[in-house]
Copies of this chain bind each other. A is one copy, B any other.
Amino acid sequence: MDTWLIQKTGYNTEETAADGNRFLCANGYMGLRGTVEEAGTDAFPAITLAGVYDRFEDRWREPVNAPHALSVQLSFNGRALTAADPDIKAHSMQLDYRYGIRSRDTDFGPIRLRSEWFASLAECHLLADRLRITAAESGMLEIRTGISTDIWDINGPHLFDFRFETGDALLCHAVTGQAGIPVAAAQSAAYSFNTEETSLQAEKGIYRVLRTHVDAGDELSLHIFAGIYTGLDTAAPAEKAETLCLQAKEQGFDACLEAHCDAWDRVGQQSEIKIEGDENAELALHASQYHLNCIAPRHAPNMSIPARGLSGQTYKGAIFWDSEIFFFPMFVYTQPEVARSLLVYRIETLPGALRKAEEYGYRGAFYAWESQEGGTEGCTNFNVVDVFTHRPVRTYFRDKQIHISGDIAYALRSYYDITGDRSLLEQGGAKVILECARFYISRASAHMDKDSIDFTDVIGPDEYHERVTNNAFTNRIILHTLQSALLLEDIFSDRKEWFAALLSELNYESDWQLLKKLCAHIRAPRCREGVIEQFDGYFDLEDCSLSTVRSRLCDPKEYWGGDHGVAGTTQIIKQADVIAMMALFPNDFSDDEIAANWAYYEPRTEHGSSLSACMYALTACRIGQMEAAWDLFMRTAMIDIEGGGKQWAGEIYIGGTHPASNGGAWMIAALGFGGLRMKNGVPELHPNLPPQISCLTFPITSNGRQMTVEITHNNARIL
């Protein structure tokens, strides 16, 4: 078994959406969905650009897909050859997780096409594809390759004013509709056969047409290179794209591939977890690590990662708390510069968070639930479409999921705690923590007749229960934010003047006193027999089984949450909530407390979010429930191999890759099984190795120094 590869045989038009995710190539700058070269929009091909957003009319704002510059259409004796044709002889597709290379092998009968494409990790604007065409019959082969502007968009179109140029490279230039951001794609091609090359400007794209007579046994080679730039990268995206693809052609496919593989080898050295004992688990870990590493923003110092990575436009390409809670840990331990980029994105988007708080009548920083560029809130008030009436439903993710600010403060604090490096706090991080704390001060609900302070009308991690009071997770992360703000005084005890100036700049004097007051009086969670109540009144909700709740669905695509959803009025929760709190604050709780809450909440959890299983697995490791931990680990790590996870929320398509699960798999392996803790750059191990694994090895990086953790059932050491 090759644990670095997935392969799929046959072509199923029903599965192209899922396959596009499973066979994704990406490099942090863009994501190239795992389709075949000839795919039409019905197969959901896309080159999704990180951090470039657009809104068409009143539809959802989402990332922009570039023109498809790896488009290739074959025809033989005038008959179009496509993998979707049910009469083809054979088709298979592979993805190599070590190097992020999607390959295909399609036997159309008279013609066989093999190709390998990748999104270069060495040069983030470059895509390359190597095609080998073998003839089994003689006849006339026509190859059209170029840049298709027949772009699949969920809420598009987003590109307008197309201009095309031909020459050594084909060039397509357009601008986005809302902000007029230029987007350019250029394509060059090298081929091994004699042909009369003509260019064709079609309604939707520009192509070179290569016609050649082939005889049985002939093998043709075609290498294509695409350069993609936008106006956010450079003032001259078209020129850059053209230059890049021509340079790549000159260097040749092999050289491009070598640079790409070298880059992946470096990433592997930094982050690859090796396990022995279970090949399925190895494969799953390779998949998880690939899918998270391939979307890391290594090309920019201030970008974060969307919740569905770069697998398309779902979830609006927005940055969620996934970044801080689920992606951040792997990066901070293995590639701290990426972790830093995720947080710098938040520091730089503080103005957006201040604006959002003001919009709601609060002070401080209320970060966007679905953050787009500049911290713009991408989440609407109507984030679900009802399956029965087809009307949008008022949801409260945007306005009530206030734990997002605390999640960001948590990661900023973790970055300092783990690395011992306070420079990020100095460079804006402290300001973010203080503004998040200030937001909570202004959001707090006090009483006239008692001291305790509530947080009312919130949504916790479990989104099925909207508008609740004193969500345990939310109150805890708020308290942590307040404590982190107060701790800044100690962290900067040797820079008292600087810190005083910061407080003064932020007009923070009276808020500093309120911080202490809120710390002292924020409502502690209620308990019943050792079980923490998820929010006030949760225990009074109907206590029925998951299968009972599921049996009440009238439509499989129904949204489960809110007052109309089957779960909203019961104790069935979407995802870890109290348990997520216990995973994030392990020192607050004894093993017995965690065990009691785990036993209560796990059976009541739908795991309807990819953010859930990981939290249960981490806490299961803590209390030694390794069988459950293993099951949840496998469920987490396999998600992007199986193409699982929820595909729909009401009528909204939410499919894509699951980087939170990918990050979760790393967390379970390294932090759960490995029991890794790091304080001020010094690692410690408290391993809980499951019986399925005989040896677990992984690298970590601290203060620029790489170390290797190695754990067996007899031994645990850091080399």
Binding site for B on A (CB under 8 A): 361, 363, 381-382, 386, 388-391, 393-395, 441-442, 444-449, 453, 456-457, 467, 510-511, 514, 517-518, 536, 552, 554, 562-564, 566, 568-569
Contact = CB atoms under 8 A, between A and B. Distances in A.
A553 to B, nearest CB: 9
Given A447-B444, A456-B456, A517-B448, A388 B562 contact: no
B393 A564 contact: yes
A447 B448 contact: no
B563 A448 contact: no
A-B pairs with lowest CB-CB distance, top 6? A388-B388, A394-B563, A446-B446, A445-B445, A389-B554, A394-B569
A654 to B, nearest CB: 20
Contact of A393 (B361, B449, B467, B563): B563
Contacts of A363: 449
Nearest to A510: B449
Contact of A391 (B442, B536, B566): B566
Nearest to A554: B389
A447 B446 contact: yes
Given A388-B554, A456-B457, A514 B393 contact: no
Contact of A449 (B389, B467, B514): B514
B442 A447 contact: yes
Contacts of A554: 388-391
Contacts of A448: 441-442, 444, 446, 453, 514, 517-518
A388 B554 CA distance: 9
Contacts of A441: 448-449
A564 B566 contact: no
Contacts of A566: 391
A564 B444 contact: no
A510 B448 CA distance: 11
Contact of A563 (B445, B447, B564, B569): B564
Contacts of A453: 448
Contacts of A569: 381-382, 394
Nearest to A562: B563
A128 to B, nearest CB: 49
Contacts of A386: 564
A338 to B, nearest CB: 37
A457 B467 CA distance: 9
A448 B478 CA distance: 15
Given A448-B517, A456-B445, A391 B568 contact: no
Nearest to A469: B457
A363 B554 CA distance: 41
Nearest to A447: B446
Q: Give the residue among A363, A446, A517, A552 with the most B Cβ atoms within 10 A.
A: A446
A611 B511 CA distance: 46
22 contacts: A381-B569, A388-B554, A391-B552, A391-B564, A394-B563, A394-B564, A394-B568, A442-B448, A442-B449, A444-B447, A444-B448, A445-B445, A445-B446, A445-B447, A446-B448, A449-B511, A449-B514, A456-B456, A457-B467, A467-B467, A563-B563, A563-B564
A255 to B, nearest CB: 57
Nearest to A390: B554
A342 to B, nearest CB: 31
A467 B469 CA distance: 13
A334 B363 CA distance: 54
Contacts of A568: 394
A138 B394 CA distance: 70
Nearest to A442: B449
A179 B536 CA distance: 32
A51 to B, nearest CB: 29
A44 to B, nearest CB: 30
Considering residues A447, A518, A552, which has the most beta carbons from chain B within 10 angstroms of its beta carbon?
A: A447
A361 B452 CA distance: 13
A615 to B, nearest CB: 27
A130 to B, nearest CB: 53
A691 to B, nearest CB: 45
Contacts of A449: 363, 441-442, 510-511, 514
Contacts of A394: 563-564, 568-569
Contacts of A393: 563-564
Contacts of A446: 445-448
A456 B518 CA distance: 20
A519 to B, nearest CB: 12
A500 to B, nearest CB: 21
A160 B568 CA distance: 37
A500 B53 CA distance: 67
A35 to B, nearest CB: 37
A399 to B, nearest CB: 9
A510 B449 CA distance: 9
